[in-house]
């Protein structure tokens, strides 16, 4: 239980303040445990941070594994994949600032252990691309561009809608996580389907 609690609090702290601004001293104060307990589970701040990231990606990949077990057509898989992304954010909203910080930081704080988990996600997208009947001009779309289109759109829209800044829509989507995620998943699926598929 202690390990899970450390991960949960660390996830929130890293999401709120970023890797560099989180100190282990402040983290143990927030956890109300001694530093030795944290270091018993994680050798240092970087190991803890990477475990936070790995846990999120693995959580998402576990959901994806379930949908890719079935023999579904490309459009159904695409819709299910987008739903996995929004469900992950819905259940772990701290994923958004963590992902945006790492993208902006060019992955500077990630270790090599994250790569296989990320590559698993990319393989799922490649399966979708292979199954979709794409228009001629998109037949050779790069899977990383496809990933960026999906994740960039979801992360950016969600962060704008959840922001206290006076930007984003003023209607019922603003500050409503569920409605914002439903809207962006529907929009994104329809946009990809209409523009890239036959």
Residue 195 has pLDDT above 90, yes or no: yes
In a domain, 40, yes or no: no
In a domain, 12, yes or no: no
CATH number of the domain where residue 131 is located: 1.10.357
In a domain, 127, yes or no: yes
Count of domains observed in the chain:
1
> What is the reported pLDDT for 53?
97
In a domain, 174, yes or no: yes
Confidence of residue 177 (pLDDT cuts 50, 70, 90): very high
Average pLDDT, integer, range 140-167: 94
DSSP state of 21: T
The SS3 of residue 197 is strand
Strand intervals (E) in the chain: none
**Mean pLDDT of all residues belonging to the chain:** 94
In a domain, 145, yes or no: yes
In a domain, 49, yes or no: no
Write down the H helix ranges in 94-176.
Answer: 95-104, 115-131, 143-162
- Name which of 78, 70, 84 is nearest 131 in CA terms: 78
Domain residues for 145?
A: 54-196
Residue 169 has pLDDT above 80, yes or no: no
Average pLDDT, integer, range 123-142: 96
> What is the reported pLDDT for 1?
62
In a domain, 43, yes or no: no
In a domain, 188, yes or no: yes
């Amino acid at each position: 239980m202690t390990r899970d609690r450390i991960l949960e609090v660390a996830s929130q702290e890293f999401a709120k303040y970023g890797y560099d601004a989180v100190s282990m001293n402040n983290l143990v104060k927030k956890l109300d445990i001694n530093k030795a307990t944290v270091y018993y589970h994680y050798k240092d701040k970087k190991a803890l941070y990477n475990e936070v990231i790995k846990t999120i990606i693995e959580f998402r990949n576990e959901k994806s594994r379930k949908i890719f077990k079935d023999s579904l057509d490309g459009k159904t898989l695409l819709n299910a994949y987008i739903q996995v992304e929004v469900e992950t954010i819905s259940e772990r909203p701290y994923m958004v600032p963590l992902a945006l910080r790492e993208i902006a930081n060019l992955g500077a704080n990630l270790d090599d252990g994250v790569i296989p988990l990320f590559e698993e996600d990319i393989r799922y997208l490649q399966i979708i691309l292979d199954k979709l009947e794409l228009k001629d001009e998109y037949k050779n779309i790069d899977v990383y561009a496809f990933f960026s289109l999906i994740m960039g759109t979801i992360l950016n829209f969600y962060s704008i809608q959840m922001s206290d800044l006076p930007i984003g829509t003023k209607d019922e989507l603003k500050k409503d996580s569920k409605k914002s995620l439903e809207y962006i998943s529907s929009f994104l699926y329809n946009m990809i389907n209409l523009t890239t598929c036959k």
